[in-house]
Structure 1
Amino acid sequence: MINKQTLKDQLIHEIEQRKDDLVDLCSQLIRIPSENPPGDSTHITTFIDDYLKQVGTVNHWYESTDKMYNLVSTIGNTDGKHLIFCGHSDVVPAGDRSKWDFDPNSGEVVDGWLLGRGASDMKAGLGGLIFTFALLKELEIDLPGQLTLAVVPDEETGGEFGVPWLLENGLIMGDGSLIAEPSSRYNPTIGQKGSFWFKLKVFGQPGHGSLSPLAGNNAITSMIDAINEIRKLWDLPVTIPDHIQPLIDKSKKYMREVEKDREPFQDVMDHITVNIGTINGGTKSNIIPESCEVEVDCRLPFGITQDEVSDYLHEKLDKLGIEYEISRFGFRSNANHTSADDPVCKAIIDNISYVTDHESYGVMQWASSDARHFRDYNIPVLQYGPAFLPSIHGYNEKVKVEDIVRCCKVYIAAVIDYLYDN
């Protein structure tokens, strides 16, 4: 009879003994370019496949679109529960490399920091999942359930060729999932706001600029009126459901007491955020513009749906008497969450406290991720990964080595608790 606590402690110790190998794996992942766009995951998927084969795993490649490869591997026994480890291999572009203090594909460790694009989002977290998966296979741990590793290529663009493609095609399934997306040290994200991204195109009538505003119909000035209406979404009253309010309250507490630089932004938890991200219109200064287009990113709290936002926008824009078109793109979802009492959440939250000897609780994410797709398929999910949050998607991205090791210890302990607790 296996003593679960003894096994868990032994595996945590094993991670500590092999932490240099863990960090080296994460470094190697950063050194492999995998920017999306363009989204070619051939090189990094090949590396991960070769790494896992060294311990004898059977890995399956699934090309969801040209040069975007999903890698799926499963270990354990089919009799018990099934846990999915999920991580994305793509990263956002490095941007202007002259603004970096080091090579974005450095992968170096300097003064306790692992450096490079993807260090926090999310190659360090992905490395922790891969390392945990490989170690359990190498040590021949007799798991009473299954553990699947799913490495996906298409998260950073909000694309459909990673997690949603695997789920839709029945290539992954499970009773719970952990995504190693960046989070704070003690607070995994167990919920997220919804997303409503849209393009608005406004049409006018061209004419000679010297006759404006008496001639023609200026699409840009009409767009200004439209933008003013769109921005009022922030002020739209939203009633948070009673069963969600405690999660919102905890998330605001987190913003006040943990990630303190976020304290001024607490209201994003129960308001619709509105970002006018791009604008394009007109031909030249002396021609009355015939069209103008904006791209808008709205994030939706609990208490309002995508359909309700769409209805609101059409009502307000119709009243302006303008000619327009709205089309959706990118992220699209309603707010969603997994109960903190779900076994997969408890396994992670309890083991964060166990490994760190510090209070842990789940919070809301004010952005969006692949977690929503798992919830669409009724798979409970949360996110927990090593990160230096201010550096995500910015220049000089980095993560603390100690955070990488800590998260990996939590991962392996959580596997034992989750699969052995039947």
Structure 2
Amino acid sequence: MDSVMVIAAQSIQRDAMFEFARNLVRTPSLPTQEGQVAALIADEMRRLGYEVTVDPMGNVIGRIGPGSGKKLLYNGHMDTVDMGDPDAWERDPYGGDIEDGILYGRGACDMKGALAAMIYGGKALLDSGVPLEGDLYVAAVVQEEPCEGLAMRHIVEDGGLRPDWVVLGEATNLQLARGQRGRIEVEVNIHGRSAHAAAPERGVNAVYGAARVIVAVELLAPQLNHDSFLGKGSIAVTEINSTASSRNAVPDHCSLYIDRRLTIGETETKALAEIRRILSREGVEATIDVPTYRSTSYTGYQAEARQYFPYWVTSEDESLLTTAMGIIEHTLEYVPRIGKWEFSTDGVYTAGVAGIPTIGFGPGEERYSHTVDDQIRLADIESAAQVYANLAARMLARGQ
């Protein structure tokens, strides 16, 4: 293993990788608007020697290897959240500024730095000359921010690419992640009966019904399951809307949106049953639904998915995880911590639905994601690229 690592580590084209990461940050890529950054990534992959495919949904998939054998897939999403208030930024969010070894800008941490590291880690593997008996895929995917797992479902189920292992490059601060809580979005539509506000007793105020539900949701939260690894389930009302014929009429409809985070032992069925019990106990007439995300990709491809994302946990003795631990220890000279993500990732599909062994390893600190201080250390991008190269060599090299 040591000889493979020395070759791979010496092959990183660090200056070109940093400039590529900078160009990625300089290229806005909101969900369904990733076309420009996708073209940039595809061109860079081709220049570096990847075999490149852009699928109907717009995911960019690069391959290195013989076209047979085991498949290791590195996953990173191209889309980012919006910049928000531009005046809140100290630097141009799309300027790609580098200062004191830190790259700043929207998507630097989440997760364009990791994409650059994956792509150049693959290039280092290619340049090393290590003979491979399996394929490395780097998948730069669309629309992860609004609907995690959607793109990977398309790659696996529609594209026919089912990897044997998946590494997610979401920010872990160069540590390891082996799971996350799931989540489900629930829409509660509360039905009332309108009346003139001067005689509210003639109607049924849907907002009052919503208020009882909100209090009950708050009281439910402490009772939710707790897992020693994933942590506690959570529930929160995140949006409320009501309708009435005028401001002096009793509202006949009120909708609530609930974000429910699921720990081990919690499923869609369980989460919905909890809300139904609240409605029954409070005497509130309502319907509940799991919303469907619908989108048209920058390619024109139309996709949809219910907003239910199962939790997932990869076993501590999974070979991909134990191998990654050894690679990090030898390459970066420390023993990595093994933890979990607080946020959601494409692992909800790869591990949670498809059952593919999945781990997380990426540069960047989670605390900078989605903030006006979005940033990543260049040294961490380089360290991640070395690990990506060495891990792929170890998993895919002939005789390993």
TM-score normalised by the chain length of structure 1: 0.86
2-structure distance, mates of 1:47, 1:138 = 21
Secondary structure class of the residue paired with 1:63: coil
- One-letter identity of the residue aligned with 2:46: K
Secondary structure class of the residue paired with 1:21: helix
Aligned residue in 2 for 1:28:
23
Alpha-carbon distance, 1:385 to partner: 1.0
Aligned residue in 1 for 2:3:
6
**Aligned match for 1:408, one of 378, 385, 399:** 385
2-structure distance, mates of 1:55, 1:356 = 25
**Aligned match for 1:82, one of 63, 68, 71:** 71
**Aligned match for 1:177, one of 162, 166, 170:** 166
Deviates more, 1:396-405 or 1:132-141: 132-141
Secondary structure class of the residue paired with 2:388: helix
Deviates more, 1:24-33 or 1:334-343: 334-343
- One-letter identity of the residue aligned with 1:398: Q
Q: In the alignment, is the contact (CA less than 8 A) between 1:233 and 1:272 conserved in 2?
A: no
Q: In the alignment, is the contact (CA less than 8 A) between 1:55 and 1:138 conserved in 2?
A: no
Alpha-carbon distance, 1:389 to partner: 2.2
Aligned residue in 1 for 2:107:
118
Aligned residue in 1 for 2:361:
384
- One-letter identity of the residue aligned with 2:19: D
Alpha-carbon distance, 1:161 to partner: 4.5
Q: In the alignment, is the contact (CA less than 8 A) between 1:229 and 1:317 conserved in 2?
A: no
Alpha-carbon distance, 1:192 to partner: 0.9
Secondary structure class of the residue paired with 1:209: coil
1-structure distance, mates of 2:196, 2:335 = 66
Secondary structure class of the residue paired with 1:23: helix
CA distance 1:387–1:239, shift in 2 (3 Å): closer
* 1:88-127 alignment runs, 5 A limit: 88-127=77-116
Deviates more, 1:327-336 or 1:127-136: 327-336
2-structure distance, mates of 1:33, 1:8 = 35
Alpha-carbon distance, 1:79 to partner: 5.3
Question: What is the number of residues matched between the two proteins?
Answer: 383
Q: In the alignment, is the contact (CA less than 8 A) between 2:309 and 2:348 conserved in 1?
A: yes
Aligned residue in 1 for 2:217:
230
- One-letter identity of the residue aligned with 1:125: A
- One-letter identity of the residue aligned with 2:14: K
Aligned residue in 1 for 2:178:
190
**Aligned match for 1:289, one of 243, 251, 272:** 251
Alpha-carbon distance, 1:91 to partner: 0.5
Aligned residue in 1 for 2:331:
355
Alpha-carbon distance, 1:285 to partner: 3.7
Secondary structure class of the residue paired with 2:30: coil
Alpha-carbon distance, 1:237 to partner: 4.8
2-structure distance, mates of 1:390, 1:56 = 34
Does 2:322 correspond to 1:322? no
Does 2:45 correspond to 1:52? yes
Alpha-carbon distance, 1:328 to partner: 0.8
- One-letter identity of the residue aligned with 2:92: D
1-structure distance, mates of 2:258, 2:380 = 35
In structure 2, stretches of 5+ residues that fail to align are: 294-306
What per-residue deviation string (whole Å, max 9, x for no partner) do you get for residues 165-200 of structure 1? 1111143222101111111333x2111111111111
Secondary structure class of the residue paired with 1:210: coil
Alpha-carbon distance, 1:26 to partner: 0.6
Deviates more, 1:107-116 or 1:340-349: 340-349
- One-letter identity of the residue aligned with 2:223: L
Deviates more, 1:75-84 or 1:142-151: 75-84
Q: In the alignment, is the contact (CA less than 8 A) between 1:70 and 1:162 conserved in 2?
A: yes
**Aligned match for 1:135, one of 124, 127, 146:** 124
CA distance 1:192–1:206, shift in 2 (3 Å): same
Aligned residue in 2 for 1:256:
none
Q: In the alignment, is the contact (CA less than 8 A) between 2:238 and 2:258 conserved in 1?
A: yes
TM-score normalised by the chain length of structure 2: 0.90
CA distance 1:400–1:410, shift in 2 (3 Å): same
Identical-pair percentage = 23
Does 2:187 correspond to 1:206? no
2-structure distance, mates of 1:135, 1:351 = 15
* 1:266-345 alignment runs, 5 A limit: 269-283=230-244, 284-329=246-291, 331-345=307-321
Alpha-carbon distance, 1:271 to partner: 2.2
2-structure distance, mates of 1:25, 1:237 = 45
CA distance 1:185–1:101, shift in 2 (3 Å): same
- One-letter identity of the residue aligned with 1:232: L
Secondary structure class of the residue paired with 1:162: helix
1-structure distance, mates of 2:87, 2:279 = 43
Q: In the alignment, is the contact (CA less than 8 A) between 1:114 and 1:401 conserved in 2?
A: yes
